[in-house]
A and B are shown apart, each in its own frame.
Chain A
């Protein structure tokens, strides 16, 4: 079974500052990794995913994440945030065995202040 830990439940930052949202996972098998964003009263939107290849993954809206197998981490970063990035961010894993089931972390609320 897999589990996901998002270490920070809330992250406040100022506009144009860099941000890192942390995600660690636990799994006995190889996994695929995902980051989703949820804006208020909306569904989840895929930011980026790691399936294979380069461990540095670039996604939409200027976000990127790096898969670190030795540290079992998949931290999300953005060099300069905007007010519009204020949202809930979820990290998720899926085992490579084919079930496609996503196991989510508890989420990190990113608040960008002017």
Chain B
């Protein structure tokens, strides 16, 4: 139980284009979902917190117009990287929370911007 999927697992896009990453909780409902970014050999850094049906809360330094987050249902959240640049290349990980202090993580999406 408590499975979270991400799609795609790996994506390459050209600089200036946008890419959407999906995060789904497969066997539970998640009122809250989180988006993290992980650099090589580094820790996970929280980008934003999203609650179903409301606007996401972004961490300091994260551009909300660049990283668009939509949490349209209790099982789906999407992260859209708009006008991607090479510096946006990273490993993006989502987590879903069915209740407080319980997060289940997706397998991550490797984004490469050329």
Do the beta carbons of B101 and A51 come within 8 Å of each other? yes
Do the beta carbons of B43 and A104 come within 8 Å of each other? yes
Is B4 among interface residues, defined by CB-CB distance under 8 A?
Answer: yes
- Hey, what's the 0/1 contact readout for B58-94 against A, CB within 8 Å counting as 1? 0000000000000000000000000000000000010
Interface size class of B (residues with CB under 8 A): 20 to 34
Q: Which residues of B contact A (CB under 8 A)?
A: 4, 6, 32, 34, 41-46, 49, 93, 95, 97, 100-108
Kindly list 6 other residue pairs between chains A and B, CB separation below 8 angstroms, not including A42-B107, A43-B6, A46-B104.
A4-B43, A43-B4, A44-B95, A100-B101, A102-B103, A104-B45
A-B pairs, 5 with minimum CB distance: A43-B105, A44-B105, A104-B43, A43-B107, A106-B43
Scoring A49, A104, A106 by chain B CB atoms within 10 A of each residue's CB, the highest score goes to A104
Distance in angstroms between the alpha carbons of A99 and B104 in the assembled complex: 16
Do the beta carbons of A32 and B101 come within 8 Å of each other? yes
Is A101 among interface residues, defined by CB-CB distance under 8 A?
Answer: yes
Do the beta carbons of B46 and A41 come within 8 Å of each other? no
Distance in angstroms between the alpha carbons of A45 and B2 in the assembled complex: 10
Distance in angstroms between the alpha carbons of A51 and B101 in the assembled complex: 9
Distance in angstroms between the alpha carbons of A106 and B100 in the assembled complex: 24
CB distance from B58 to the nearest CB of A (A): 12
Q: Which of A46, A98, A100, A104 contacts B44 (CB 8 A)?
A: A104
Do the beta carbons of B43 and A100 come within 8 Å of each other? no
Contacts of B108 in A (CB 8 A): 43
